[in-house]
Amino acid sequence: MVFELWKKLNDKNFSALNIIYGTESYLIEKTKKLFIENALKKEELEFNFSAIDLDEVPIEIAIEEMELFPFFGDRRVVFLNNAFFFSAEKRREKVDHNIEKLLEYIKNPTSFTIAVFIVPTPKLDERKKITKEILKSAYVLDAKPLREIDLINWVKDMAFQNKLNFHPKSIEKLIFLTGGNITLLSSEIEKLSLFVQSGEVVTDEVLELVVAKSLDQNVFTLIDKIMKRQKDAAIQIYHDLLIQKEEPIRILAAIARQYRILSHVKFLSGEGYSESAIATKIKENPYPVKLAKQMIHNFSSDYLAKVLHELAEIDYKMKTGQGDKELLLDLFILKS
């Protein structure tokens, strides 16, 4: 769990071996920052910190770096990026790695070096000998999109740090407006901390005023208006996006993406998949999946397939110059 590791780092409870894998870039970068801030003083960074790209540097050279004694400090921190040999991902390696040498190091790491292996893939290959060995003793972080409850707790923690007081339901509203994207959430919470006066409660009205809606969130609202037969409101959202200089082809792509999510969620829910399992399977953040699950009862599978076919035809017409791009989407919304 990410919060458990962050607590260990803040408590200066370090491990000689660490492995971070997953695709949530914010969690990866935040964790790397905590390693540096808590393990090294600012004046030590130049001498006792290294970041090595294992796409370019053989692991045996990296091990030599990890075995160097710290200079004017107690420890070294070494980031080992692109450590794909812990995963099952098949790729053409630019360099040959001496995995046996790494295996020896993992069995007996230097006590003064904090080695952090970063594997930018969703999973580790636990069948591999090298992966099995490092998992015996390393701190491990699965940097995957946070579950809804974890995301809510993370927002609460960030709000506390920024001295913000949220109305309970407004936390979910903020997550909706940012699509559950943790990087956007962090940015918007920081913005709110500058906008909201001390003691003021952050309400839905404040969020609507301050937080910028992403294209995906505007499109989700547009589809919700279509579902509720509020065609005028849907058209207004579309025209507002055009005023904001969004290209019709980008809006079309976002609409198609949302309908694909609805289609996937409807099918997989019928197969008995949970929300978190669906999010993992279709590689989406959990929150859009939750919202889609609340909407799918309004759509049949046949209807969703028909809409996706219509959107594919509009895409073809836009790309081949068959009709006015803005008008094509106007007609789609009015007919839906």
At the second CATH level, the architecture of 148-210 is Orthogonal Bundle (1.10)
| Start and end residues for every CATH 1.10.8 domain found in the chain | 148-210
Side chain identity at residue 324, one-letter code: D
The pLDDT of residue 123: 92
The pLDDT of residue 183: 86
Would the pLDDT of 217 be above 90?
A: no
| Start and end residues for every CATH 3.40.50.300 domain found in the chain | 2-143
Angle at 266 (CA atoms; ends 325, 259), nearest 5 degrees: 10
Show the tokens assigned to 71.
């200079």
Would the pLDDT of 113 be above 80?
A: yes
pLDDT category at 302 given cuts 50, 70, 90 is very high
At the second CATH level, the architecture of 2-143 is 3-Layer(aba) Sandwich (3.40)
Cα gap 5→9, rounded to integer Å: 6
Would the pLDDT of 111 be above 80?
A: yes
pLDDT digits (tens, 9 = 90+) for 64-94: 999 999 998 899 999 999 999 999 888 877 8
With beta carbons less than 8 A apart as the criterion, state whether 63 and 101 touch.
yes
| Start and end residues for every CATH 1.20.272.10 domain found in the chain | 215-335
113: CB partners within 8 A, 6+ apart:
16, 66, 67, 68, 70, 75, 76, 77, 78
Q: What is the mean pLDDT of residues 133-162?
A: 89
pLDDT category at 37 given cuts 50, 70, 90 is very high
pLDDT digits (tens, 9 = 90+) for 306-332: 999 999 999 999 999 898 999 999 999
**CATH code for the structural domain at 215-335:** 1.20.272.10
Would the pLDDT of 199 be above 80?
A: no
Cα gap 55→81, rounded to integer Å: 8
pLDDT category at 286 given cuts 50, 70, 90 is confident
The pLDDT of residue 17: 97
Helix, strand, or coil here: 62? Answer: helix
Residue 191's alpha-carbon distances to 39, 113, 250, in angstroms, are 29, 37, 27
- Model pTM score: 0.71
The pLDDT of residue 280: 82
Cα gap 60→58, rounded to integer Å: 5
Cα gap 290→145, rounded to integer Å: 13
